[in-house]
Each structure stands twice: as C-alpha cells, then as structure tokens.
C-alpha cells in the first residue's frame, strides 16, 4: 500500500485527478469505479478543468458508481445520479451508454455489467467517519457483492446536513466489499480531521469486518491519498 500525504485538499484533488488522467491516457477504454460525497468534488472539478484545457477524451471510458440511495427519484437533487451529472458527466464526453449507476432494481445485473466491461481497472473510493466504504457499513462481509443495505444510524445522521428538512433515505444499493476488492487498482481518498480516526483504524488497525475499510489492507495495488488533516 502506498500512502501519499498531500499538504491540503486542493493538492489531494489535483493528485487524484492526475492519477485518473494518467490511467485514461494509458488505457482510453478504462473501466473506472467512481465515488460521491464531498471528498471527490475537487477531483471532479480538476478533471473537468483539464478535460477542457487538454482536450481529453473520455468517450471510451466505462464508469461504474459505487452506490446510490434507494427511494429517491433519479432526478432528486440529492441522488448520486444527480451529483454525478452536476460534478462530472454533464461537463465531459463520457457516453450516457457507458455510465452505470446502481439503482437497486437488479444488483446481480450490476455485477454482470462490471464483468462484461472486463472488471474495474481503477476504483476511487472515499471513507465514512465510521470507516464504511461505498455504503458497506460496519459488519459487512468482505465477500459481499452489490446489494441493498440498511444505512447505519451514524451515516443517516451525517447525511442529514445535506438533506435539510427532508428525511435521509434509510436504504441504499452499494457495490460489495468483495466487488470493490476485485478492482485491479484502488485509490482511497480522505480529507479533513474528521476522517483521521477512520483512516487510522482502516489502515493501521486489525483487518476486521467491523471496520469495512480495513479490507483494503488486503489489496495488492492500493494507493491512499490523504491531506495533512486526515493523516494518521
């Protein structure tokens, strides 16, 4: 596992965007796993900026999002589909047919779509304050596949700030930890002091299903990009 500590969020964002661009240049038909949340917003911003400036081509890219809330209409402002359009897809030439976002209707079909795309080459993932990855909450099996899950009370509580007066969904569909671990390369992003405890437990603690992100210690090709504040 390689750990890169960047001085600040801006550099974390640029470093992760650079890594994605390098991977796309090396393999234009890359299959990429994509996260949502506050952490990757800067990475998407940088990708869009560089896409415009450097005339990058994402038309062969296949994208698979890690997770999505259950129960929100697709165009709901807080759905991850809307997030992805707002921060990335509306600004670049990823083809709509190559965009995959799970919707809970057929989780096994999502797994098959990943397989038909040749598996995930590069998967970017954030981490929750309780060390969840995607929406794999503590207790998730390391063999888990794409499925519908109940969100942990802490996750619902943390998401409430984004939902204002509206209730936060209590269920989501998520790639499993087993699905995530099959990606050929994984990049974990963590920013801010509120993540340092989760990062510490994930990377230095025992590998345990009570700490979902600790599963990543088992991956042979893993890069962690932190900013100073999230540092162990």
Residue ranges in contact with ligand GLP by CB under 6 A: 35-39, 66-67, 126-128, 134-135, 155
Neighbours of 226 (CB within 10 A): 22
Query: Which of 78, 70, 66, 61 lies closest to 24 in space, CA to CA?
Result: 61
Catalytic, out of 87, 111, 121, 132 = 132
Q: Residue 67 catalytic?
A: yes
Q: Shortest approach of ligand GLP to residue 122 CB, angstroms?
A: 16
The phi and psi torsions of 37 (rounded to 5 degrees) equal 100, 180
Cα(24)–Cα(32) distance, integer angstroms: 9
For residue 132, indicate whether it is catalytic: yes
Least distance from ligand GLP to the Cβ atom of residue 55, Å? 29
Report the distance separating Cα 10 and Cα 77, nearest Å.
Answer: 25
Rg (CA), the chain: 16
What are the helix and strand counts (H, E) for the chain? 7, 10
**Does residue 130 carry a catalytic annotation?**
yes
For ligand GLP, the closer of residues 66 and 84 by Cβ is: 66
Nearer to ligand GLP, 6 or 36 (CB): 36
Of the residues 46, 111, 121, 137, which is catalytic? 137
3-class DSSP assignment, residue 159: helix
How near is the Cβ of 77 to ligand GLP at its closest, in Å? 16
CA 113, CA 108: separation in Å to the nearest integer?
A: 9
Is 106 noted as a catalytic residue in this protein? no
Instruction: Closer to ligand GLP by CB, 134 or 183: give it.
Output: 134
- Of 67 and 227, nearer to ligand GLP (C-beta) is 67
**CB 121 to ligand GLP: min, Å:** 19
Which residues are designated catalytic?
67, 130, 132, 137
């Amino acid at each position: 596992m390689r750990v890169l500590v960047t001085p600040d969020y801006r550099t974390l964002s640029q470093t992760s965007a650079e890594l994605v661009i390098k991977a796309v240049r090396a393999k234009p038909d890359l299959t990429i796993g994509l996260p949502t949340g506050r952490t990757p917003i800067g990475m998407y911003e940088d990708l869009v900026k560089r896409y415009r400036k450097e005339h990058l081509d994402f038309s062969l890219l296949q994208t698979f999002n890690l997770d999505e809330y259950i129960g929100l209409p697709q165009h709901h402002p807080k759905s991850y589909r809307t997030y992805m359009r707002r921060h990335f897809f509306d600004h670049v030439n990823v083809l709509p047919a190559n965009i995959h976002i799970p919707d809970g209707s057929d989780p096994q079909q999502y797994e098959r779509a990943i397989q038909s795309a040749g598996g995930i080459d590069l998967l970017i993932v954030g981490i929750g304050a309780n060390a969840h990855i995607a929406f794999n909450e503590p207790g998730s099996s390391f063999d888990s596949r794409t499925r519908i899950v109940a969100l942990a009370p802490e996750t619902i509580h943390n998401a409430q700030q984004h939902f204002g007066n509206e209730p936060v969904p209590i269920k989501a569909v998520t790639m499993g930890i087993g699905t995530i671990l099959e990606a050929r390369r994984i990049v974990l992003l963590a920013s801010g002091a509120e993540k340092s405890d989760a990062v510490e437990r994930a990377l230095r603690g025992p590998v345990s299903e009570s700490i979902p992100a600790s599963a990543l210690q088992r991956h042979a090709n893993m890069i962690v990009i932190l900013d100073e504040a999230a540092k162990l």
